[in-house]
A and B are shown apart, each in its own frame.
Chain A
Amino acid sequence: MTAPLPGPAVQADDPALDWFGHDVPPATRARLAELAQLQRFAPGEVVFREGGESLEFGVVRSGRIALRVVVPERGAVTILTVEPGDVINWSALVPPHRSTSTGTALSDVEILAFDAAAFRGALRSDDALAAAVYPRVLRAVSRRLMATRLQLLDLFARTEDRSW
């Protein structure tokens, strides 16, 4: 991610943590809040770049971000948009820690950002935090995978019907 100015402190009852941290024990939620930093992006700003090092894991707090992949001669294709509650840059937690798409803000966007190295360190040393975070990240990634499969089927593609 680009590095805007350090944002204000994040409270444990922040709505983004409400979504991401639903049912998380209060102590763990407080730990998440400690690690998080609020970042803002204007429409058109790139939040993270495909192939770039994932410096921050994020949870969308407000606004909409397009995840785009560049295809030669087709330009940037949006394959998914993410909204409040969604995870971005999960690649910060999975080697080789490189972003798999480019995230561009489509509107004013707020993100709870977690510094990748610090977050990984915290997950290694804090079992309760890891037990709370990993299933949620896995769920987010799995949901995205299932959706991508359906998109891949191209269900609305035009088909010829010789009878009519």
Chain B
Amino acid sequence: MVTPVAGRAATRRPVPAPAAADGAPPAAFLARTDLGRLLEALQADGRTVIGPSIADGAIAYEEIRTIDDLPIGWRDAQAPGRYSLSEAGDERVFDYTVGPTSWKRFTFPPRIPLSRAQRDGRRVAYTSVEPETKPLAFLGVRACELAALGVQDRVLQDGPAVDRDYEARRASALVIAVECAVAGATCFCTSMGTGPRVRAGSGFDLALSEVGDGFLVRVGSPAGSDLLERMPTRRATADEVMAAKAQVRAVAERIGDPVPTIGLRDRLVDRWDSPHWARIAERCLSCANCTLVCPTCFCTSVQQVSDLDGLVSTSERTWDSCFTVGFGKVAGGNFRSRPQDRYRQWLTHKFATWIDQFGSFGCVGCGRCITWCPVGIDVRAELAAIAPAAPEVAGTHAPEPVAASPDAYVTARIGSIHQETADVSTLRLVDVDPAFVAGRPGQFAMVARPAFPPAPVSISRYRPDGIDLTIRAAGPSTASLVGLGPGDELGLRGPLGVPWPLERAVGRDVIVVTGGIGLAPLRPLIHGLLADRLRFGRIRIFYGARTPADLLYGDELAAWAARADLEVGITVDRAGPDWTGRVGIVTQLFDEATWDGASAIAFVCGPERMMSATAETLGERGLTSDRIFLTFERHMECGIGLCGHCQMGRLFVCRDGPVFSLAEVRDVLGREGI
């Protein structure tokens, strides 16, 4: 389990690491022997440092007074229902994963006083208890735990109601993250998208990666920067930066993807009546261990603690658990009297209904509930049993692109050209590399002609013998492409990018909303839906263009509109008197409709402002952000996430998209200047 990183040959002159692509300052390096200085600086600032320390046979989070309190040279071994420690005897400080405590013990303590009440004769008086906080520093917060703090932030302090005690405690803590160098056998942060990599902007002040004889240190906040300036650091070398990346990548590979989360929410809420709940309940002791070790569980109860004569009493808030028998009890009975009800409540909350309430999973994949379950119930296995991942729609996975790197192209020949509108043409390509024919709806190609820069173009049709590209002449490159004729050749790279998740539409109503040339990347999706028509519910296509003359694929649109199993709405922004179709914006085609989108899925492509208006209208129709998919346009040059041009916040459009769920891009959609 130990993966120390081999030191590079000392004869090589260290190359300073370049600034990170996201504009963050370059990483610093802190020698392991100087870790004590960090501790001293935190203490000098008046902070109580909380970090990993051995207590009761496990690595728990305790006050760290000296470096010797840290479990230096110790390793943990975890499995469902099992935990043990062993001493490796080396200098590594953080080569273990998470133990039974989580940081919520300090941000959201198990027991706090809320208010005090006094009785004096017939008079009563209540006073609330102000949060008592002291400056803390959390040392050793893992990626999954940063995510857990984020989850609790959304629940407890991002409103509409705010937990004042949590808010005060959270604000008092400085967060020093540590990137995992080892994978625990119960970890599944990779599946939940929370780790093992500590991402920039995930809420740390400093982030450490243990490499060689010290720590690569990244800064995440001004407070972290101030602290780092007081440390005896040097600039990290490129080798150290690469070693840290390789180390965390190895952890991710080791964990794999044990919980396929695509569509998990919907799969789970479809299984309320699964017989498997009762089977789990045969093993579950309802002991509530899983909720106590969980870093995001937030349910509480308030208890009255009174003195003997009842004159003074305190309201105390304590952790509670949905696994306790009385949790769902009212005067008329108990809503969740059976263990199977309580297990279902917990699991569906973590992996499904939390999304509806707070916009993310309630689980961060830390694996504590697996390790600390006395009977070893493994949530990864139970999810697979209750809500197995849907069988894939044939060929859903994107193929390996050909000529992926920007220096290599394959050629293709133009079979024919069809002029769609005044400045848009569809090139029908033949003699195309088979990789393109195997591409998926929503993918794109980098298309080139000698002497012109390559342009990213959506693939607008897959044929057995080639592909179609629909191109608008917007600049010199694209103008040269639409100016070609049959028999001319061009250069291609691809197919690139993340495709539309067609498989998630199986069994659902489907809504396609598109504007202008945005129909091009959606056309193969519509072909995919129609090729397997019976696997989908109602299909509604809403298409808006500038004028009637700007509508693409006229014959095909007419054929779709004529089908009884397809609802097609077309509108234009303006028209002359000869147009008898609809005029107005595309959202007016469905904003007053009566259908319910609660179980539908939507695919949207168009100008960003149109997509944000569409997303809002779809939300009013009941679609959640994890079931609205959008495709983005940014300046793409390399197409594989290396050149940095298509950056959009924390995302590269070419590599991470161009198709995203609304949930992924909500923070950047419609924001100026991103």
Binding site for B on A (CB under 8 A): 19, 43, 64, 66-68, 75-81, 83, 85, 104, 106-107, 143, 147, 150-151, 153-164
Q: What is the bound-complex CA distance between A153 and B169, given in angstroms? A: 47
Q: Are A78 and B550 in contact (CB under 8 A)?
A: no
Q: Are A155 and B577 in contact (CB under 8 A)?
A: no
Q: What is the bound-complex CA distance between A107 and B579, given in angstroms? A: 12
The answer to whether B163 has its CB under 8 Å from any CB of chain A is no
- One of B453, B516, B580, B591 near A156 (C-beta < 8 A): B516
What A residues does B575 contact at CB under 8 A? 77-78
What A residues does B613 contact at CB under 8 A? 150
- One of B550, B574, B580, B607 near A151 (C-beta < 8 A): B574
What B residues does A143 contact at CB under 8 A? 588, 591-592
Given known contacts A155-B610, A156-B545, A156-B546, is B576 in contact with A76 (CB within 8 Å)?
Answer: yes
Given known contacts A78-B576, A81-B582, A164-B453, is B516 in contact with A155 (CB within 8 Å)?
Answer: yes
What B residues does A106 contact at CB under 8 A? 580
The answer to whether B587 has its CB under 8 Å from any CB of chain A is yes
Q: What is the bound-complex CA distance between A161 and B423, given in angstroms? A: 13
Q: What is the bound-complex CA distance between A76 and B544, given in angstroms? A: 21
Contact residues, B192-222 vs A (CB, 8 A): none
Interface string of B436-476 (1 = CB under 8 A from A): 00000000000000000101100000000000000010111
Distance (Å) between the CB of B176 and the closest chain A CB? 43
Q: Are A64 and B546 in contact (CB under 8 A)?
A: no
Q: Which residue of B lies closest to A139 (CB)?
A: B592
Distance (Å) between the CB of B642 and the closest chain A CB? 17
Distance (Å) between the CB of B385 and the closest chain A CB? 45
Interface string of B536-580 (1 = CB under 8 A from A): 000000001110001000000000000000000001011111011
- One of B546, B587, B609 near A147 (C-beta < 8 A): B587
Q: What is the bound-complex CA distance between A160 and B581, given in angstroms? A: 29
- One of A66, A107, A161 near B583 (C-beta < 8 A): A66
Given known contacts A78-B575, A155-B515, is B592 in contact with A147 (CB within 8 Å)?
Answer: no
The answer to whether B585 has its CB under 8 Å from any CB of chain A is yes
Q: What is the bound-complex CA distance between A164 and B516, given in angstroms? A: 18
Distance (Å) between the CB of A24 and the closest chain B CB? 16
Q: What is the bound-complex CA distance between A159 and B478, given in angstroms? A: 13
Distance (Å) between the CB of B192 and the closest chain A CB? 36
Q: Are A79 and B583 in contact (CB under 8 A)?
A: yes
Q: Are A80 and B584 in contact (CB under 8 A)?
A: yes
Q: What is the bound-complex CA distance between A163 and B448, given in angstroms? A: 12
What B residues does A66 contact at CB under 8 A? 577, 580, 583
Most buried by B among A64, A80, A160: A80
What B residues does A67 contact at CB under 8 A? 583
Q: What is the bound-complex CA distance between A64 and B609, given in angstroms? A: 27
- One of B579, B584, B591, B606 near A155 (C-beta < 8 A): B606
What A residues does B580 contact at CB under 8 A? 43, 64, 66, 106-107
What B residues does A160 contact at CB under 8 A? 474-475
Q: What is the bound-complex CA distance between A38 and B356, given in angstroms? A: 45
Interface string of B578-602 (1 = CB under 8 A from A): 0111111101100110000000000
Distance (Å) between the CB of B405 and the closest chain A CB? 20
What A residues does B546 contact at CB under 8 A? 154, 156-157
Q: Are B423 and A158 in contact (CB under 8 A)?
A: yes
Distance (Å) between the CB of A13 and the closest chain B CB? 16
The answer to whether B134 has its CB under 8 Å from any CB of chain A is no
- What 13 additional pairs, Cβ within 8 angstroms, besides A75-B577, A80-B584, A143-B591? A19-B592, A76-B576, A78-B574, A79-B574, A79-B583, A80-B583, A81-B582, A83-B582, A85-B592, A155-B516, A156-B515, A162-B476, A164-B476
The answer to whether B477 has its CB under 8 Å from any CB of chain A is yes
Most buried by B among A79, A107, A147, A150: A150
What A residues does B582 contact at CB under 8 A? 64, 81, 83
Q: What is the bound-complex CA distance between A163 and B456, given in angstroms? A: 11
What A residues does B583 contact at CB under 8 A? 66-67, 78-81
What A residues does B581 contact at CB under 8 A? 81
What A residues does B476 contact at CB under 8 A? 162, 164
Q: What is the bound-complex CA distance between A79 and B547, given in angstroms? A: 11
What B residues does A153 contact at CB under 8 A? 609
A selection of 21 A-B contacts at a CB cut-off of 8 Å is: A19-B592, A43-B580, A66-B577, A68-B577, A75-B576, A75-B577, A76-B577, A78-B574, A78-B575, A79-B574, A81-B581, A81-B584, A143-B588, A150-B609, A153-B609, A154-B573, A157-B546, A158-B472, A161-B475, A162-B475, A164-B475
Q: What is the bound-complex CA distance between A137 and B665, given in angstroms? A: 35
Q: Which residue of A lies closest to B584 (CB)?
A: A80
Distance (Å) between the CB of B571 and the closest chain A CB? 8
What A residues does B591 contact at CB under 8 A? 143
Interface pairs A-B: 5 shortest CB-CB: A164-B455, A156-B546, A156-B516, A155-B607, A164-B477
Q: What is the bound-complex CA distance between A157 and B423, given in angstroms? A: 12
What B residues does A78 contact at CB under 8 A? 574-577, 579, 583
What A residues does B516 contact at CB under 8 A? 155-156
- One of A77, A85, A150 near B574 (C-beta < 8 A): A77
The answer to whether B338 has its CB under 8 Å from any CB of chain A is no
What B residues does A104 contact at CB under 8 A? 577
Q: Which residue of A lies closest to B447 (CB)?
A: A164
What A residues does B283 contact at CB under 8 A? none
- One of A80, A81, A83, A156 near B550 (C-beta < 8 A): A156
The answer to whether B635 has its CB under 8 Å from any CB of chain A is yes
Interface string of B398-414 (1 = CB under 8 A from A): 00000000000000000
Most buried by B among A81, A106, A153, A154: A81
Q: What is the bound-complex CA distance between A84 and B571, given in angstroms? A: 16
Q: Which residue of B lies closest to A151 (CB)?
A: B573
Q: What is the bound-complex CA distance between A104 and B576, given in angstroms? A: 12
Q: What is the bound-complex CA distance between A159 and B474, given in angstroms? A: 7
Most buried by A among B472, B477, B576, B580: B580
Q: What is the bound-complex CA distance between A67 and B582, given in angstroms? A: 11
What A residues does B515 contact at CB under 8 A? 155-156
